[in-house]
């Protein structure tokens, strides 16, 4: 016996079986019972919400041997023929592939003839918005004055694309996304019929993944049943759909709330190593933070897979981050989802996105990362106010550590990353000389050309004095063991031209950095907000 998928096997056959569209089914039942059925209907709404199924049930109600009746028997020859798609007088036309004027002219010619076996002819045009303007205009007269034996149902997911003249000639019903609760009830009935053991949390995960479409939910359930012969739980659903485990979402939420960037990088490594879909991860994380936002505002989270581990950690995170922080995080994650579709550096983008939202958390909640193990010149903490008295090189080197943070406050975070690669080596009057390592030729070029004035602005805000920055390319630190004692009254000399073999290709370096800045900020160009 040929296997019948759940979406077809459990397709609604009566008005009362249509989930989530009571406003449609009740009106049509009354219209059939009272003899007030319109000649043309528009069924508009998302895919998988019952538009075509309702049109078929209407056709059965009009043509049932016991009718017209709001309760078609489903047993007579006409009901069976319509149900199986074999009725000559009930035609389902795919307007996406039959969208031209010739097809509509053919329909207009054939509609004149009386029904061959049923009481009425019913034409169901699926994806009706795909008809060309010429075809739509050719259909207008027939819709306005159809033969007494003919009815039309135009199903569409994009009613705004239909001609206003088409809309004015039909009654319109808007099909709504099916609520998660109703989908769970429908899936439970299928599970009972099929003798499938599945817990409610798993049903909720399927319903949420279906995105408001019962047909999607039935197809996912069908796939899950084929995946295993064991009792179905949320873990199996996640494995089939590639959904991020609730435990990982909770852990990432904790890391973001704590501002723990190294921990977030470790989580991304775990996802990549496990072969997880990073697009799905960002989508799941966005929904998770949506639920945190609902909790922070006193509402209940939507039913879904995130609640499988309980709401305790979620309520704690919602309180810790706060509604404003959650709104900003959701916005950032949503933007990253769009960017992720157009980059081959997905892991890098996810890392930068998580770092961005973690760094945005309040200072008191952020974890203190372990300092990188590399030698640095010990300096005193930079003061928060401009220095008093003469500005010396030593003082400028202290303040230089604050320049990246100042640039970040000014909205130029990528420029701050460039500044971190340089070090002040000389200060003469109002001229500050900063040196870049030979391997940082790209940063050197950007600092002395494109971003020089921006860096000078940041310095002025910190020290209260306008300095002209001059960039040099060479060793940032003086040689460890000089052959001759350096004169204490002079600054260490910095080579302005690096050895040709030491400098990397500027073009290749620019490609790498441009890509990083583009992923993080959307552009390599830094503009004032």
**Residue 377 binned pLDDT confidence (cut-offs 50, 70, 90):** very low
Indicate whether 170 and 184 sit together in one domain. Answer: no
- The tokens of 257 are what? 């709330």
102 with 156, same domain: the answer is yes
Q: State whether 222 and 345 are in the same domain.
A: no
Residue 347's H or E segment, with its range, is helix 346-359
The Cα 332–Cα 109 span in angstroms is 56
One domain for residues 349 and 214: no
How does pLDDT run across 159-176, given as a tens digit for each residue? 999 999 999 999 999 999
The DSSP result for 3-54, as a single string, is: ---HHHHT---SGGG-TT-HHHHHHHHHHHHHT---SEEEEES-TTSSHHHH
Could you tell me if residue 529 is inside a domain? no
237: domain CATH number? 1.10.8.60
Question: Residue 389, by phi and psi: left (phi above 0), alpha (psi -120 to 50) or beta?
Answer: left
pTM (2 d.p.): 0.61
DSSP class per residue in 90-146: EEEEETTTS-SHHHHHHHHHHTTSPPSSSSSEEEEEETGGGS-HHHHHHHHHHHHS-
Residue 471 lies in a domain: yes
CA distance 123 to 18: 20
Task: Kindly indicate the confidence band of residue 519, based on its pLDDT and cuts at 50, 70 and 90.
Answer: very low
Domain boundary among 174, 207, 229: 174
> What is the total count of domains within the chain?
4
What burial class does residue 300 get, using C-beta atoms within 10 Å of its C-beta: 0-12 exposed, 13-18 middle, 19+ buried?
exposed
Host domain of residue 302: 246-360
Residues 135 and 218 in one domain: no
Q: What is the pLDDT of residue 445?
A: 83
Mean pLDDT along residues 100-105: 86
Instruction: Among 174, 201, 231, identify where a domain stops.
Output: 174
Question: Is residue 378 included in any domain, yes or no?
Answer: no
Q: Give SS3 for 177.
A: coil
**Residue 94 zone, left/alpha/beta (φ > 0; ψ -120 to 50; rest):** beta
Confidence category of residue 344, pLDDT binned at 50, 70, 90: confident
- pLDDT tens for each residue of 279-313: 989 998 998 999 899 888 887 766 544 444 456 78
Q: Answer yes or no: is pLDDT of 451 > 80.
A: yes
Enter the tokens of residue 176: 């709504």
Q: Which of 218, 241, 264 is the last residue before a domain boundary? A: 241
pLDDT the model gives residue 367: 52
CA atoms within 13 Å, Cβ hemisphere of 138: 16
Tell me what percent of the residues of the chain surpass a pLDDT of 70.
82
Average pLDDT over residues 402-414: 81
Q: What is the CATH number of the domain that holds 319?
A: 1.20.272.10
Q: Does 446 score more than 90 pLDDT?
A: no
- Domain with residue 422: its CATH number is 3.30.300.180
Least confident of 71-85, 153-167, 180-194, 383-397: 383-397
- Structural domain includes residue 43: yes
User: CB neighbours (10 Å) of residue 345?
Assistant: 14
- Does residue 153 sit in the same domain as residue 190? no
217 shares a domain with 89: no
Give pLDDT, residue 187: 94
In a domain, 142, yes or no: yes
Name the CA dihedral angle for 134, 138, 139, 142, rounded to a multiple of 10 degrees.
170
**φ/ψ bin of 39: left (φ > 0), alpha (ψ from -120 to 50), beta (otherwise):** alpha
Is 442 within the bounds of a domain?
yes
Q: Give per-residue pLDDT as tens, 2-56.
A: 788 999 999 999 999 999 999 999 999 999 999 999 999 999 999 999 999 999 9
Q: What is the pLDDT of residues 456-505, one digit of tens each?
A: 988 988 888 889 999 998 755 443 333 444 343 444 444 444 443 334 44
More confident site: 245 or 120: 120
Average pLDDT, the chain: 81
122 and 226 in a single domain? The answer is no
* DSSP conformation letters of 417-467: HHHTTEEEEEEETTEEEEEE-GGGHHHHHHHHTTSHHHHHHHHHHHHSS--
Same domain, 162 and 277: no
- Both 252 and 199 in one domain: the answer is no
The CATH code of the domain that includes 11 is: 3.40.50.300
At residue 370, does pLDDT exceed 90?
no
Contact present, 474 and 453 (Cβ < 8 Å) = no
- Mean pLDDT value of segment 99-119: 88
Q: Kindly state whether residue 415 falls inside one of the protein's structural domains.
A: yes
pLDDT-based confidence at 365, cuts 50/70/90?
low
Same domain, 161 and 205: no
Together in a domain, 167 and 281: no
């Amino acid at each position: 016996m040929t296997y019948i998928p759940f979406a077809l096997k459990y397709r609604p056959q009566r008005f009362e079986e249509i989930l989530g569209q009571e406003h449609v089914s009740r009106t049509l039942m009354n219209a059939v019972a009272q003899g007030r059925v319109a000649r043309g209907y528009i069924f508009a709404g998302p895919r998988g919400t019952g538009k075509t199924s309702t049109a078929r049930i209407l056709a059965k109600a009009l043509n049932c041997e016991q009718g017209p009746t709001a309760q078609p028997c489903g047993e007579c020859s006409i009901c069976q023929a319509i149900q199986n798609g074999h009725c000559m007088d009930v035609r389902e036309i795919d307007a996406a592939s039959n969208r031209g004027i010739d097809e509509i002219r053919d329909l207009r010619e054939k509609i004149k003839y009386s029904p061959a076996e049923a009481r009425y002819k019913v034409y169901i045009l699926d994806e009706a918005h795909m008809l060309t303007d010429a075809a739509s205009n050719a259909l207008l007269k027939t819709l306005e004055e159809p033969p007494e034996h003919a009815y039309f149902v135009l199903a569409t997911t994009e009613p705004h694309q239909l001609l206003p003249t088409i809309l004015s000639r039909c009654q319109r019903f808007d099909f709504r996304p099916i609520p998660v609760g109703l989908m769970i009830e429908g899936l439970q009935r299928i599970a009972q019929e099929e003798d499938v053991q599945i817990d409610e949390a798993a049903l909720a995960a399927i319903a949420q993944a279906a995105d408001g479409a019962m047909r999607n939910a039935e197809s996912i359930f069908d796939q899950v049943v084929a995946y295993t012969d064991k009792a179905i739980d949320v873990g199996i659903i996640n494995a089939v759909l590639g959904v991020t485990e609730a435990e990982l979402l909770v852990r990432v939420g904790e890391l973001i709330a704590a501002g723990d960037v190294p921990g977030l990088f470790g989580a991304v490594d775990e996802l990549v190593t496990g072969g997880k879909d990073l697009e799905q991860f960002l989508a799941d994380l966005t929904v998770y933070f949506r639920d945190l936002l609902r909790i922070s505002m006193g509402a209940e989270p939507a039913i879904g897979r995130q609640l499988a581990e309980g709401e305790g950690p979620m309520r704690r995170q919602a309180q810790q981050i706060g509604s404003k922080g959650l709104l900003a995080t959701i916005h950032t994650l949503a933007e990253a989802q769009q960017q992720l579709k157009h980059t081959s550096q997905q892991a890098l983008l996810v890392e930068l996105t998580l770092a961005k939202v973690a760094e945005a958390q309040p200072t008191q909640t952020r974890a203190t990362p372990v300092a990188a193990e590399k030698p640095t010149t010990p300096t005193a903490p930079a003061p928060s106010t401009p220095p008093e008295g003469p500005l010396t090189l030593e003082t400028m080197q202290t303040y230089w550590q604050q320049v990246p943070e100042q640039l970040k406050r000014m909205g130029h975070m990528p420029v701050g990353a460039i500044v971190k690669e340089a070090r002040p080596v000389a200060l003469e009057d109002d001229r500050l000389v900063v040196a870049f390592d030979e391997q940082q030729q790209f940063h050197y070029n950007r600092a002395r050309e494109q971003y020089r004035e921006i860096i000078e602005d940041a310095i002025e805000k910190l020290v209260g004095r306008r300095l002209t920055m001059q960039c040099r390319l060479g060793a940032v630190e003086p040689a460890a063991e000089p052959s001759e004692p350096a004169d204490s009254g002079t600054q260490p000399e910095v080579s302005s031209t690096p050895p040709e073999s030491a400098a990397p290709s500027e073009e290749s370096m620019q490609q790498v950095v441009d890509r990083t800045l583009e992923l993080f900020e959307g552009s390599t160009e830094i503009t004032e907000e």
